[in-house]
Chain A
Amino acid sequence: MSTIPAFEASYNEPWHLPSRGKVGMFSLIIGESALFTIFVVAYIFYIGKSLSGPTPEILSVPVFSTICLLSSSFFIWLAERAIEKNDMKKFMLWWSTTIALGLIFIVDTGIEWHKLIYGEGLTISTNLFGTTFYSLVGLHATHVVLGLIMLSLVLVFTLTGHVSEHHAERIQVLSLYWHFVDAVWVVVFTVVYILGR
Chain B
Amino acid sequence: MADQTLPVPGTLDVTPPHHAEGTFLEWLHDWVVTVDHKKLGILYIVYAICFLAVAGTEALYIRIQLAVPDNKFLSPEVYNRLFTMHGTTMVFLVGMPILFGFANYLVPLMVGARDMAFPRLNAFSFWLTAFGGLMLYFSFIGGFGLYGAGNAPDVGWFAYAPLTAKAFSPGNGVDYWALALIAMGFGTLGTAINIIATTLCMRCKGMTLMRMPLLVWLMFVTSGLTLVTITPLTAAQVMLMIDRYLGGHFFDTQAGGSAVVWIHFFWIFGHPEVYVLVLPAFAIANEIIPVFSRKAIFGYPAMVAASVGIGFVSLGVWAHHMFTVGMTSVENAFFVLSTMLVGIPTGIKIFNWLATMWGGKIRFATPMLFCTGFLLQFLVAGLTGIMLSVAPWNWQLHNSYFVIAHFHYVLVGAIVFCIFAAIYYWYPKATGHMLSERLGKWHFWLFALGFHITFDTMHFVGIMGMPRSIYTYGADRGWGTLNMVITTGAFVQGIAVLIFVYNLIVSYFKGQEAGNDPWDAWTLEWATHSPPPEYNFATDPVVKSRRPLWDLKHPEDPDWKYE
* Chain A positions near chain B (C-beta within 8 angstroms): 1-11, 15, 17-20, 23-24, 27-28, 30-35, 37-39, 42, 45-46, 49-52, 124-125, 127-128, 131-132, 135, 139
Contacts and interface: CB of A to CB of B under 8 A. Distances in A.
A139 B231 CA distance: 13
A49 B538 CA distance: 64
B13 A17 contact: no
B50 interface: no
Nearest to B544: A8
A113 B325 CA distance: 37
Which of A30, A37, A38, A135 has most chain B Cβ within 10 Å?
A38
B539 A6 contact: yes
Nearest to B246: A124
B542 A9 contact: yes
A19 B118 CA distance: 12
Contacts of A2: 13-15, 515-516, 529
Contacts of A27: 192-193, 196-197, 223-224, 227
Interface stretch (B38-46, B58-66, B200-208): B200-208
A4 B200 contact: no
A135 B232 contact: no
B3 interface: yes
A45 B258 CA distance: 10
A163 to B, nearest CB: 20
A121 to B, nearest CB: 14
Contacts of B28: none
Contact of A5 (B10, B15, B118, B194): B10
B3 A35 contact: no
A20 B231 CA distance: 21
Which of B194, B203, B247 has most chain A Cβ within 10 Å?
B247
A24 B539 contact: no
Given A27-B227, A34-B232, A131-B257, 7 more contacts: A1-B13, A1-B15, A6-B8, A20-B200, A27-B223, A49-B258, A51-B255
B235 interface: yes
A88 B326 CA distance: 61
B248 interface: yes
A4 B231 contact: no
A4 B249 contact: no
23 contacts: A2-B14, A3-B13, A5-B8, A6-B10, A6-B539, A7-B527, A7-B541, A10-B542, A17-B203, A20-B197, A23-B197, A28-B189, A30-B227, A31-B227, A31-B230, A34-B227, A35-B232, A37-B232, A46-B250, A128-B257, A131-B243, A135-B238, A135-B248
Nearest to A32: B231
B256 interface: yes
Which of A31, A34, A37, A124 has most chain B Cβ within 10 Å?
A31
A51 B265 CA distance: 22
A124 B243 CA distance: 9
Contacts of A11: 205-206, 542
Given A9-B542, A27-B196, A131-B250, A39 B235 contact: yes
B555 to A, nearest CB: 10
A128 B255 contact: yes
B528 interface: yes
A14 to B, nearest CB: 10
Contacts of B11: 3-6
Interface in B226-275: 227-232, 234-236, 238-239, 242-243, 246-250, 255-258, 261, 265, 268
B256 A30 contact: no
Nearest to B1: A2
B248 A125 contact: yes
A7 B201 contact: no
Contacts of A128: 249-250, 255-257
A20 B261 CA distance: 37
B117 A135 contact: no
Interface string B185-200: 0000100111011101
Chain B, interface size category, equals 35 or more
Nearest to A138: B242
Contact of B4 (A3, A7, A125): A3
A52 B540 CA distance: 67
A77 B231 CA distance: 28
B215 to A, nearest CB: 19
Contacts of A34: 227-229, 231-232, 235
Contacts of B261: 42, 45
Nearest to A11: B205
B201 A17 contact: yes
A30 B232 CA distance: 12
B201 A19 contact: yes
Contacts of A20: 117-118, 197-198, 200-202
B20 interface: no
B234 A24 contact: no
Nearest to B248: A131
Nearest to B515: A2
B12 A5 contact: yes
B542 A124 contact: no
Contacts of B242: 124, 131, 135
A43 to B, nearest CB: 10
A46 B243 CA distance: 15
A20 to B, nearest CB: 4
Given A15-B205, A135-B238, A31 B193 contact: yes
B505 interface: no
A67 B515 CA distance: 65
B6 interface: yes
Contacts of B404: none
Contacts of A8: 542
B552 interface: yes
Contacts of B228: 30-31, 33-34
B516 A4 contact: yes
A42 B250 contact: yes
B258 A5 contact: no
Which of A15, A17, A34, A128 has most chain B Cβ within 10 Å?
A34
Interface in B1-47: 3-4, 6, 8, 10-15
Contacts of A39: 235, 239
Nearest to B230: A31
Contacts of B528: 4
Contact of B256 (A1, A7, A28, A49): A49
B161 to A, nearest CB: 13
B232 A124 contact: no
Contacts of B265: 38, 42
